[in-house]
């Protein structure tokens, strides 16, 4: 990485699925006029590409090669992100539960994680980057200016996911979602490489009883506090 790149400020927002980190990170990036990286989308893209090609979730060599060569493009639409894989729009498929489960299994494989490191760091461009994921503050951008670890109870996260998927017209079951969230937490937290855990210097925010707006106010406050210290 060039010296110019490392001087570009990063805000890292990590946490489990359904904690609200994606929405908070995207809105913070919009407010600051910075770039945005949804690192989970990269793991989800590996999952979609693998499922389309019939590659198994434990075939580390094949998944590593796939992650290395992924042909991906991101764009922004009015209310969210547009994702192209091999030139095709696949945004709608990214958040489905089979893709969530596959991506979490693939993300435990060292070859997949290694293949995505450079791709993630390439998002670090002036004037700054807001990155959301599991290991943004601990592994990918350890020198991030501000690190936030956003969490919420599994019940609150399952209820949020339920609402999101319902609004998209998907047929979902709350208790199954809760079960899947617990399984994914367990897998993400217990894996040997880059497990889901706060960086030692992260600010931990529990959003169980908070709205996204409440969380954004806190994160903006932390960010402004940093600027005042500079």
Q: In what order do the strands lie in the sheet with 146-151?
A: 35-38, 129-133, 10-14, 146-151, 203-206
When asked if residue 138 is in the footprint of ligand C5P (CB under 6 A), the reply is: no
By CB atoms closer than 10 A (0-12, 13-18, 19+), residue 139 is: middle
By CB atoms closer than 10 A (0-12, 13-18, 19+), residue 1 is: exposed
When asked if residue 43 is in the footprint of ligand C5P (CB under 6 A), the reply is: yes
CA pair distance 193, 188, nearest whole angstrom: 9
CB atoms within 10 A of CB 134: 26
Least Å from the CB of residue 104 to ligand C5P: 4
When asked if residue 180 is in the footprint of ligand C5P (CB under 6 A), the reply is: no
When asked if residue 19 is in the footprint of ligand C5P (CB under 6 A), the reply is: no
Least Å from the CB of residue 43 to ligand C5P: 3
Instruction: Choose between 62 and 164: whose C-beta lies nearer to ligand C5P.
Output: 164
Lookup result for tokens 């169980």: 208
When asked if residue 39 is in the footprint of ligand C5P (CB under 6 A), the reply is: yes
Binding part of the chain for ligand C5P, among 55-63, 79-87, 127-135, 164-172 by CB under 6 A, reads 127-135
Per CB under 6 A, residues contacting ligand C5P are 17, 39-40, 43-44, 103-104, 107, 133-135, 184, 188
């Amino acid at each position: 990485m060039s010296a110019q790149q490392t001087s570009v400020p990063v805000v890292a927002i990590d946490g489990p699925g359904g904690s609200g980190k994606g929405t908070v990170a995207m809105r913070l990036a919009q407010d600051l006029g910075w770039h945005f990286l949804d690192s989970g989308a990269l793991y989800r893209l590996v999952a979609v590409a693998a499922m389309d090609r019939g590659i198994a979730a434990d075939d580390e060599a094949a998944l590593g090669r796939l992650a290395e060569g992924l042909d991906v493009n991101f764009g922004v639409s009015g209310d969210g992100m547009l994702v192209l894989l091999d030139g095709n729009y696949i945004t709608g498929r990214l958040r489905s539960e089979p893709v969530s489960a596959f991506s979490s299994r693939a993300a435990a494989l060292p070859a997949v994680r290694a293949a995505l490191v450079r791709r993630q760091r390439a998002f670090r461009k002036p004037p700054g980057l807001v990155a959301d994921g599991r290991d943004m503050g601990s592994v990918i951008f350890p020198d991030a200016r501000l690190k936030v670890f956003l969490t919420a109870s599994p019940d609150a996260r399952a209820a949020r996911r339920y609402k999101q998927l319902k609004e998209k017209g998907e047929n979902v079951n709350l208790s199954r979602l809760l079960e899947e969230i617990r399984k994914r937490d367990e897998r993400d937290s217990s894996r040997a490489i880059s497990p889901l855990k706060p960086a030692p210097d992260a600010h931990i925010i529990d959003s169980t009883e908070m709205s996204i707006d409440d969380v954004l106010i806190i994160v903006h406050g932390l960010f402004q506090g940093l600027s005042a210290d500079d």
